[in-house]
């Protein structure tokens, strides 16, 4: 089996494809929720003037997923948005692996710091609250 060496340019190409795939999948899931959402109450009055905050099933990662699979249109759209937020995180995970294969320990370390910050942002508020 012949494998091209994992140089920076090849890594960047793979990252670009990963990002594009993530955005396309996220957009398709969002549209998949948008169609039933628009069909459900097309004439309902809507206003975002006042802030209410989203209910738990639309903000906690572990609740968004089952909520979307139960077929709730707003839940499906939110799952798409969660996938979109996860796309750069996947990119950072991939970069950590690529730096590890290149044997660049220093940059594996930097990448893991970035990953820790990203995971904290998504899950951290549940650790405190």
Told to check if 127 binds another protein by CB under 8 A, we report no
Told to check if 59 binds another protein by CB under 8 A, we report yes
Nearer to another protein, 1 or 35 (CB): 35
The contacts of residue 108 (CB under 8 Å, 6+ apart) are 96, 99, 100
Nearer to another protein, 1 or 14 (CB): 14
Element (H, E) at 65: helix 61-69
Q: Do 26 and 84 meet the contact criterion of CB atoms below 8 Å apart?
A: yes
Q: Would you tell me which residues interact with another protein (CB under 8 A)?
A: 8-9, 11-13, 15-17, 19-20, 22-23, 26-27, 30-31, 33-34, 37-38, 41-51, 53-55, 58-61, 74-75, 77-78, 80-82, 84-89, 91-92, 95, 104, 106-107, 110-111, 113-114, 117-118, 120-126
């Amino acid at each position: 089996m012949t494998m091209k060496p994992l140089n920076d340019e090849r890594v960047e190409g793979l990252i670009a494809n990963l990002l594009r795939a993530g955005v396309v999948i996220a957009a398709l899931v969002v549209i998949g929720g948008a169609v039933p959402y628009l069909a459900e109450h097309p004439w309902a009055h809507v206003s975002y003037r006042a802030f209410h905050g989203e209910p738990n099933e639309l903000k906690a990662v572990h609740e968004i997923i089952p909520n979307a699979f139960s077929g709730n249109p707003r839940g499906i759209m939110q799952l798409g948005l969660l996938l979109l937020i996860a796309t750069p995180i996947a990119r950072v995970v991939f970069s950590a692996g690529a730096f590890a294969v290149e044997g660049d320990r220093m940059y594996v370390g930097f990448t893991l710091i970035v990953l820790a910050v990203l995971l904290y942002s998504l899950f951290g508020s549940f650790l405190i609250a």
